Amino acid sequence: MSAQPVNPNLPPDHVTVIIDGVELAAPKGSMIIHAADKAGIPIPRFCYHEKLPIAANCRMCLVDTEVGGRSAPKPSPACATPVMDGLKVFTRNEKALKAQRNVMEFLLINHPLDCPICDQGGECELQDLSLGYGRSVSRFVERKRVVADEDMGPLVATEMTRCIQCTRCVRFTADIAGTYELGGMQRGENLQIGTYDGKPLTTELSGNVIDVCPVGALTNKVFRFKARPWELTAKPSLGYHDALGSNLFHHVRRGEILRSVPRDNEAVNECWLSDRDRYAHEGLYAADRATVPLIRDGENFREASWDEALAKASQILRDNAADDLGILVHPSTSNEEGALLARLAEALGTGNLDHRIGQCDLSDGAIAEAFAMPAAELEQADAIVIVGSNLRHEVPLLHQRLRKAVKGGTKVHMVNPVDFDVAFGVASKQIVAPSQLADVIGTIDLGDAATIAVIVGGVAENSVHAAAIRKAAADFAAAKRAKLCRIPQGANALGLSQYGVLPASRDAQAMLRDARAGYLIYGIEPGLDFADQLTALKALGGAQVVAFSQFACQSTRQVADVILPIGALAEVDATLTNLDGVAQTALAAGKLPGQAHAGWRVLRALADELKLDGFGFTDLAGLRASIAPKPVQVAKGSAPPLAGNGLEVAASQAIYRVDAVTRRAQALQAHPLNAGPRVLLNPADAATAGLADEAMAKLSTATGTATLQVVIDDRVAPGCAWIETGHGATAPLAASAKVEVVRA
């Protein structure tokens, strides 16, 4: 006869468990710590983390258990003891408290008492729990062990003597990042956590080991020794270096952003943050930051008052209004600024307005669209097809979502010009040159998958063959009843598309190929942000240019007639729309440098100078009340020229050179993933050209030439040359269909 349940009214697959006298319903197979956390009953822990596999090796969560009136002979770890019907748990009785205090005493035997100089001081889990469970005086007088530190790269600082071997960092790199870079070495009291080979961490998510570390063993190397947690103010903000829009806090002291940490949002970034979003704030404080208005004076620039600079800018816009004016906008520009730029373009009578500055082929009039399947739901898909994307570098935390999906049984199929690194197994892959991507999409065999997603990434969207690839992906998705998820090319490309920053006349490429007499460029680094750099610099160099810019860099000075300093997203209140179509709000964190202002304020002042209607608001609330999504009949551009001889160009964005801010973050530039300008060739193509590994090659296109170091890599499709954009050395090649490669 089977035992009767304690509570017959339980939900299906649940049992009754009693914790500290509180009767709870808990799912079968869950652990005591899950039930306690859900009920708000505190149990101390170090190794347990809700997003990581259970290790049960710190033993801090020991509790007393009782079943059927019989007490367990010894305390049980709450994180690894499954619930059962009628289980009684005591977290605060004498037996449990004695066990927890004994564990704490053992943990502190070798821990260095260096809290006054530890960066984790004030937010340390060991510090907090030792206050409640530790002794006031240690009974151990033996010499403490010392563990040698190793250099884990430019982002993570180590003090491994503080390590309590909770293995959270090990489990993060193995199960979340998928790089298996950290592990335990030796045994017993000699156990150490490290990389074994002494090489820097290479995962694009390495900063998360800082967050999961419960002590000061792993800390933020960029933030090290700069401030104490209680000196900092947390400001909610957003990652603006990819379209996911990761939620984060900027920690600020006296107007300076000193570090960034994740802000929990299960639908977006869970509790993680990519290194790009975590460390990019360092770039805000570069030496070439635009801090005062500048006006060209011959070959040089001179500082000017805002009144003089706005008068100069308005004169340029008056002299080059209507079709003579082109307005080019960076795709991470906020919704508020974008709506005002669209309003300004309309008032000046120009339809030459676009944010798609990094895309070569706009012949189909394609604009950013929200994912048909929200990013968080990709974990439940039966099959996912990735088309033209180095996803791990393009949207690191979307790549991490797919890793979770694969672990849950999802089959991933890839169609790419390069066999890009991913941290999960792939069901099938087709590695072909860019011109063949559209042809092979339809040949993918998905079996009997019911829920399918097709993800189209930047390698495809920014290709000279983009229109054909987009059509093939859409046709394939329609035939398979799949959800089409095109990654917006820019942090707010979707929002800018919704708020009308799109051409009614010439698109970005057309207004550069057919040069205008005047331009307004917004948030752009002219030397590196355009798809076709040589054409862009030629067009801008021969025109009058008003530059709204965060940086007074060399390329901006090269083309601009007036530079108006504006704030970056981390310094202003703004709204961005992420790839799911969700509008998210960021609050101003850092202090605006010098005389810089929020972009919307400068646009309003410029409109007043031009005496334009529609800019009568006086604050951000008034601005937001005055704007709304604006449908635009998008003008279709012409297809880019595909002439030329040689190898096809496959271009992807360098992970830490996607925009002006990341390019100036020194720690990111020192990261091993920032490989530098180079060209990667298939061994057969390198042999045909007579090129050896690490040789220098001259690459010639229809528009320009470049000299790059050769890397021979069999991941590259035959007939293809892979480059990364964001480098000045590769800028002449990105928008080219073909390139001739010879020995330099």
Tokens of 699: 């690459």
| H-only helix segments in 53-166 | 94-107, 125-133
Overall residue count recorded for the chain in this entry: 744
According to DSSP, the residues that pair with 354 across neighbouring strands are 328
Q: Which bin fits 608, alpha (ψ -120 to 50), beta or left (φ > 0)?
A: alpha
Assign 283 to helix, strand or coil: helix
Q: Within the chain, what is the greatest distance between any pair of CA atoms?
A: 97
On the CB side of 487, CA atoms within 13 Å amount to 32
According to DSSP, the residues that pair with 23 across neighbouring strands are 18
Residue 244 near residue 582 (C-beta atoms within 8 A): no
- Distance in angstroms (rounded) separating the CA atoms of residues 110 and 177: 30
pLDDT at 348: 97
| Residue 490 vs residues 243, 244, 380, 404, 493: alpha-carbon distances, Å | 6, 10, 26, 25, 5
For the domain made up of 375-486, give the CATH fold: Dimethylsulfoxide Reductase; domain 2 (3.40.228)
On the CB side of 400, CA atoms within 13 Å amount to 25
| H-only helix segments in 236-363 | 275-279, 306-319, 335-347
pLDDT at 5: 57
> What single-letter DSSP state applies at residue 299?
T
On the CB side of 223, CA atoms within 13 Å amount to 27
- Distance in angstroms (rounded) separating the CA atoms of residues 728 and 424: 32
pLDDT at 6: 61
Report the side by side order of strands in the sheet with 247-253.
233-238, 247-253, 256-262
Tokens of 222: 């960029």
According to DSSP, the residues that pair with 411 across neighbouring strands are 383
State the Cα torsion 541-545-547-553 to the nearest 10°. 20
Helix axes 125-133, 94-107, angle to 10 degrees: 130
pTM of model > 0.85 = yes
- Distance in angstroms (rounded) separating the CA atoms of residues 354 and 335: 14
According to DSSP, the residues that pair with 201 across neighbouring strands are none
- Distance in angstroms (rounded) separating the CA atoms of residues 92 and 84: 20
Tokens of 417: 């010009």
Instruction: Kindly state the helix (H) or strand (E) to which residue 486 belongs, with its residue range.
Output: strand 483-486
CATH of domain 14-107: 3.10.20.740
Residue 713 near residue 509 (C-beta atoms within 8 A): no
- Distance in angstroms (rounded) separating the CA atoms of residues 129 and 41: 15
- Beta strands 62-67 and 562-565: pairing type? unpaired
Tokens of 68: 């059927």
Tokens of 61: 């969560």
Residue 563 near residue 549 (C-beta atoms within 8 A): yes
pLDDT at 642: 83
Q: What angle do CA 368, 500, 566 make, to 5 degrees?
A: 95
Residue 701 near residue 732 (C-beta atoms within 8 A): yes
pLDDT at 9: 74
CATH of 647-743, one of 2.60.40.10, 3.20.20.150, 2.40.40.20, 3.90.76.10: 2.40.40.20
- Distance in angstroms (rounded) separating the CA atoms of residues 741 and 246: 40
For residue 740, give the nearest of 644, 650, 651, 652 by alpha carbon: 644
> What single-letter DSSP state applies at residue 488?
P
- With helix as H, strand as E and coil as C, how does 53-69 read? CCCCCCCCCEEEEEECC
Helices (H) and strands (E) in the chain, counts: 22, 33
Domain residue spans of the chain = 14-107, 141-285, 375-486, 647-743
CA atoms 408, 422, 731, 736: torsion sign: negative
pLDDT at 1: 33
Let me know if domain 141-285 sits in CATH 3.40.50.1390: no
Residue type, 421: D
- Beta strands 192-194 and 218-220: pairing type? unpaired
Residue type, 367: I
- pLDDT < 70 stretches in the chain: 1-8
> What single-letter DSSP state applies at residue 379?
G
Helix axes 599-610, 335-347, angle to 10 degrees: 20
